[in-house]
Every structure is written in structure tokens, then in C-alpha cells.
């Protein structure tokens, strides 16, 4: 029996060898040469001239693409390919023969020859696309040599949450809104019973409420925006000022928060100075006065974008947020646009942390401001930071002195800014 099995195995192996030899003999000379892999490179080069380019390469200025492309190319030949999904050992056992006209003859995938041919063709096409990316690196490096700024969205091209296709239009729209909905910097001239000092005291108290309820920073900025926009169109008496502040925070929390505090919580936090009915009636009054416009452009919207352009680490970005929030009680800083305040916050934060250069071509491009354009706002912001150590209104400073916010409120202010 053992002799029979051995004889049968030998006969089978002889038959398979004869079949393979017959297949190779029947191929044209170009196909026989392809077994050595020469036609594979030729086909990839030919297809590379018409390969589809990534849309991001149109204005890309990221030198790291070369490394990424080479890694992707290596992935085709090692282990399980991310491009084809076919294990390396399966490809090794198959006989993929690439002819000069791009035809592929396959055998050994364990399935039909048509499926194997499609998979091999797909592998050839995808590899040629990757080769094209590597070939285009010379163009990318040339752009880097002349580009005055970095494309900060190149890294996020595959992240759907970053919406890189729309980000330019989004911020163009925010810049239009900050001009169309700009608050009158002299609106206190319309008020007969309140002063900028009273406004500062109100906002400082609102910051404490914001911390007490653990609300988002977006809620705080929107609350102050609602207060300022309402006061700029309607005179009120001083005993109604706190009611306007607490109701504005209620409206902002409804808009921004996932879990909004209830009206009774706001009644309690103001020590029952106002009833639930008064707060609800004031809410209607505010919304009608603002025509239900609750999407103003705030410094926080621009700050995240500018911090990304500055490559800020978490501490520098948190310090920038602290500086931006310091502007909320400052009536004089209403003269600056939200985008300018955000840019000045980044500049002052970089100066405080001695990150040089303080202003880069990339920041200038994305903020649309030169150093001279940031100067006056940055000086005013630094003066507000210096005053924060001596003023009695310390809610924002206390908030950012917490270890949870990296204690950036304790970082000493600069006597003068380096310009």
C-alpha cells in the first residue's frame, strides 16, 4: 500500500509539472519574460501616466507625503496588502503573468481564473497609482520651496470630521458674519442707567455661574454676545441687568449644551432675585429683539483654527483660550473683531511661552493679519492680563488657575510684548 501511494504521488507531481511547462511554453516571449517580474514594472510605469491623482495634491505642501507614499508601496509587497487585501503568501503561490498589453494570466488563487485575473489587475493598477504619488514628490518639494505658508489641512484630508473640502468656505462665511453682526463698540452711550463697570461685574459673575454649572466655553462666549447685542439695541434699568445676564445664559445653554440647566436652577443661582415667569418673559423679549439670531462668530471659532496654524501644544492653546476669555469683561475690547482677538491671543500666548518666531507666514495667511495688524489688539490684551492680577474681578483667572486647565492662569504676564 505504501508503494502504491508513493507511486501515485509521483505520478501526480509529474502531471502538474508537465501542465505548468506546457502553459509556459504556449505563452508569447513577452509573457514568459513577465514571470521574472520585468513586465510588472513596465505595466506600472505605463499605467502611471494616466493614474488618478488625489484631489489634495492640487495645493499640497506637506513633505511627509513622500514617507507615506513609500510606506504604502511597501505595504503592497509585504504581509497582507492594504491595497488589494490579498495575503503575500497567496500572491507568491499564484502565477501572475503580466503581458505587455496589460493582460494578466493567473493560476493558483484557489478560485476561478477570472476572479484571480481581476484581483491581479487591481493590484497592478493600485501599485501604479502609489508609484505616481512617489513620482510627484519632486513637484511637492518644489512647491514647498516657494510656498510662503503651510497647508494645515493636508494632514486631515482623510478625516471626515475636519471637513477639509469646506473649511475655507466655512471660515469665509464666519468672517462675513463677524462684520455683518458686529457689536457697536459705543453702545453704552445708548444706556442711561448702566456703565461699563456694571457690565464687567455682571460678566465676571456669569463666569462663576458658568463654572458652577460646568458649561462649555462656547456657552459663555454666546451668553456675553447675547447680552451685548441686546444692550446695544434696547436701554434697560440697572436692576434688570442681572436678569438679562442670567436669561442670556439660559438661551445660550439651550443652544450649545447637551444637558441644559433648568429654569429653576437659574432662579436658585441668582438667589431668587427673579422668578421663573420673569426669566421666561425676558427670554421671549431677548429672542424677539435679536430676531432669533443665535449664531454669531466668536473668538473661540477662530481660535481653534489659528492654534492649528500655529501648531500650538495643549498648554499654549489653553493659554490662548484664557487670554480670549479675559476679553469678555473688557468693554474697550469690543472695538476689535472676534478674529482679531483670536489672533492676538495666539500671539500673546506664544510670546509668553517664548515660542519663536512669534508670528509666522502660516499664521499671517490663515489669520489674514500681519504683525502690525495684530499689534494694537495684542497690546490691549496684554494690558488686560496685567490688570487681572490686581483687579477684584478674578472669576476668569480663578477658572484657568485650576490644574484641570493646566494652571495657565498663574503664568506671569509680560511687562511689554516683543514686536
What is the predicted pLDDT for the residue at 110? 41
In this structure, of 38-42, 86-90, 119-123, 231-235, the range with the lowest mean pLDDT score is 38-42
Residue 364 has pLDDT above 60, yes or no: yes
- Mean pLDDT across the chain, nearest whole number? 77
Residue with cell 499640497: 60
Residue 28 has pLDDT above 60, yes or no: no
Residue 76 has pLDDT above 70, yes or no: no
Q: What is the mean pLDDT of residues 188-197?
A: 95
- For residues 259 and 246, give the distance between their C-alpha atoms in angstroms, rounded to a whole number: 17
Higher pLDDT, 367 or 119: 367
- For residues 44 and 132, give the distance between their C-alpha atoms in angstroms, rounded to a whole number: 9
- For residues 62 and 140, give the distance between their C-alpha atoms in angstroms, rounded to a whole number: 7
Angle at CA 284, nearest 5°, toward 248 and 231? 50
CATH entry 3.40.50.11540 includes domain 299-410: no
Q: How far apart, in Å, do the first and last CA atoms of the chain sit?
A: 95
- For residues 332 and 177, give the distance between their C-alpha atoms in angstroms, rounded to a whole number: 21
CA distances 337 to 200, 297, 300, Å, are 19, 9, 12
Of 263, 232, 238, 231, the residue nearest 249 (C-alpha):
263
Most confident by average pLDDT, 80-94, 129-143, 161-175: 161-175
What is the predicted pLDDT for the residue at 32? 40
| Residue pLDDT, tens place only, 241-254 | 999 999 999 999 99
Cβ pair 287, 270 in contact under 8 A: no
By CB atoms closer than 10 A (0-12, 13-18, 19+), residue 85 is exposed
Span 183-289 CATH architecture: Orthogonal Bundle (1.10)
What is the predicted pLDDT for the residue at 187? 96
Cβ pair 34, 97 in contact under 8 A: yes
Q: What is the mean pLDDT of residues 270-297?
A: 96
- For residues 225 and 110, give the distance between their C-alpha atoms in angstroms, rounded to a whole number: 67
Cβ pair 375, 348 in contact under 8 A: no
In this structure, of 12-21, 232-241, 302-311, 406-415, the range with the lowest mean pLDDT score is 12-21
What is the predicted pLDDT for the residue at 392? 94
Backbone angles phi, psi at 118, to 5 degrees: -60, -40
Cβ pair 296, 183 in contact under 8 A: no
What is the predicted pLDDT for the residue at 190? 93
What is the predicted pLDDT for the residue at 365? 96
**Residue 192 confidence class, pLDDT cut points 50, 70, 90:** very high
Of 289, 25, 304, 50, the residue nearest 156 (C-alpha):
304
| Residue pLDDT, tens place only, 292-330 | 999 999 999 999 999 999 999 999 999 999 999 999 999
What is the predicted pLDDT for the residue at 105? 40
What is the predicted pLDDT for the residue at 125? 55
Residue 208 has pLDDT above 90, yes or no: yes
**Residue 129 confidence class, pLDDT cut points 50, 70, 90:** low
What is the predicted pLDDT for the residue at 118? 56
Residue 16 has pLDDT above 50, yes or no: no
What is the predicted pLDDT for the residue at 115? 55
Residue 3 has pLDDT above 70, yes or no: no
Residue 77 has pLDDT above 80, yes or no: no
Residue with cell 484631489: 55
Residue 395 has pLDDT above 70, yes or no: yes
What is the predicted pLDDT for the residue at 84? 38
Q: What is the dihedral of CA 312, 314, 316, 321, to 10 degrees?
A: 110
What is the predicted pLDDT for the residue at 21? 47
Backbone angles phi, psi at 105, to 5 degrees: -105, 130
pTM above 0.85, yes or no: no
What is the predicted pLDDT for the residue at 289? 96
CA 93 to chain centre: 45
CA 410 to chain centre: 28
Residues in a beta bridge with 97: 105
Portions of the chain given CATH number 1.10.472.10: 183-289, 299-410
Q: What is the crossing angle of helices 217-231 and 314-326, to 10°?
A: 20
Amino acid at each position: 500500500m505504501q508503494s502504491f501511494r508513493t507511486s501515485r504521488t509521483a505520478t501526480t507531481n509529474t502531471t502538474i509539472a508537465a501542465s505548468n511547462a506546457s502553459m509556459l511554453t504556449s505563452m508569447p516571449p513577452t509573457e514568459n519574460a513577465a514571470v521574472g517580474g520585468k513586465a510588472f514594472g513596465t505595466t506600472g510605469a505605463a499605467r502611471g501616466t494616466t493614474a488618478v491623482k488625489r484631489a489634495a495634491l492640487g495645493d499640497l505642501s506637506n513633505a511627509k507625503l513622500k514617507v507615506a507614499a513609500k510606506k504604502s508601496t511597501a505595504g503592497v509587497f509585504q504581509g497582507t496588502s492594504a491595497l488589494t487585501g490579498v495575503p503575500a503568501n497567496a500572491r507568491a503561490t499564484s502565477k501572475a503573468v503580466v503581458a505587455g498589453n496589460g493582460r494578466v494570466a493567473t493560476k493558483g488563487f484557489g478560485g476561478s481564473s477570472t476572479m484571480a485575473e481581476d484581483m491581479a489587475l487591481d493590484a497592478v493598477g493600485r501599485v501604479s497609482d502609489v508609484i505616481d504619488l512617489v513620482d510627484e514628490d519632486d513637484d511637492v518639494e518644489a512647491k514647498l520651496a516657494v510656498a510662503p505658508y503651510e497647508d494645515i489641512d493636508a494632514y486631515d484630508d482623510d478625516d471626515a470630521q475636519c471637513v477639509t473640502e469646506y473649511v475655507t468656505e466655512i471660515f469665509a462665511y464666519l468672517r462675513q458674519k463677524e462684520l455683518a453682526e458686529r457689536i457697536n463698540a459705543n453702545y453704552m452711550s445708548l444706556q442711561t442707567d448702566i456703565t461699563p463697570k456694571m457690565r464687567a461685574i455682571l460678566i465676571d459673575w456669569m463666569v462663576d455661574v458658568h463654572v458652577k454649572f460646568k458649561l462649555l466655553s462656547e456657552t459663555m462666549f454666546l451668553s456675553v454676545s447675547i447680552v451685548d447685542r441686546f444692550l446695544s439695541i434696547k436701554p434697560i434699568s440697572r436692576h434688570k441687568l442681572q436678569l438679562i445676564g442670567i436669561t442670556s445664559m439660559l438661551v445660550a445653554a439651550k443652544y450649545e449644551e447637551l444637558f441644559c440647566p433648568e429654569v429653576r436652577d437659574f432662579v436658585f443661582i441668582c438667589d431668587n432675585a427673579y422668578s421663573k415667569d420673569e426669566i421666561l418673559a425676558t427670554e421671549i423679549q431677548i429672542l424677539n429683539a435679536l430676531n432669533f439670531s443665535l449664531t454669531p462668530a466668536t473668538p473661540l471659532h477662530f481660535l481653534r483654527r489659528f492654534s492649528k496654524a500655529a501648531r500650538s501644544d495643549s498648554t499654549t492653546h489653553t493659554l490662548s483660550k484664557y487670554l480670549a476669555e479675559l476679553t469678555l469683561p473688557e468693554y474697550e475690547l469690543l472695538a476689535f473683531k472676534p478674529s482679531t482677538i483670536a489672533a492676538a491671543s495666539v500671539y500673546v500666548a506664544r510670546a509668553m511661552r517664548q515660542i519663536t518666531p512669534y508670528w509666522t507666514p502660516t499664521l499671517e495667511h490663515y489669520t489674514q493679519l500681519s504683525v502690525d495688524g495684530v499689534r494694537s489688539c495684542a497690546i490691549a490684551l496684554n494690558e488686560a492680563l496685567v490688570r487681572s492680577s490686581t483687579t477684584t474681578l478674578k472669576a476668569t483667572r480663578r477658572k484657568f488657575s485650576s490644574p484641570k486647565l493646566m494652571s495657565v492662569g498663574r503664568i506671569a504676564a509680560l511687562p511689554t510684548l516683543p514686536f
